[in-house]
Amino acid sequence: MSSKRFTKDHEWIDVEGDIGTVGISDYAQHALGDVVFVEVPEAGREIAKGAEAAVVESVKAASEVYSPVSGTVTAGNAAIVDQPGLVNEAAEGAAWFFKLKLANPAELNDLMDQAAYDAYLKTLE
């Protein structure tokens, strides 16, 4: 059972202790197509829930990645900056975008679990 939680904008967050790992969903990478550029936030940056935290660009378009919760960034994933194509290969795993220390864990309650997200995706078809 996945502990990931999802936003309607197709970000995911996986929390361990008070650190959340954030990325974009497999649905999102597929919709974007070939990812050719990624920008991730630097450690120390404070981000509010719903604020622009990272950028992901395919050949065709640029999209913002919003933070699912508020917190302070502890790491950006340099691997996807060097190799943006990883996002297409492992969006919900190795190609996470950033990690942050949660400011308000209660915000997680506003997010969807895997089953709710899957049901949400069906409404988009």
Site for another protein, rule CB under 8 A = 10, 28, 31-34, 36-37, 39, 55, 57-63
CB of 76 to another protein, least distance (A): 14
Q: Give the separation between CA 78 and CA 75, rounded to whole angstroms.
A: 9
DSSP type of residue 125? -
**Chain Cα centroid distance, residue 27:** 12
Task: Tell me the closest approach of the beta carbon of residue 18 to another protein, in angstroms.
Answer: 29
Distance CA 75, CA 41 (A): 8
- Shortest Cβ 33–another protein spacing (Å): 5
> Given the complex with another protein, which of 39 and 113 has the nearer CB atom?
39
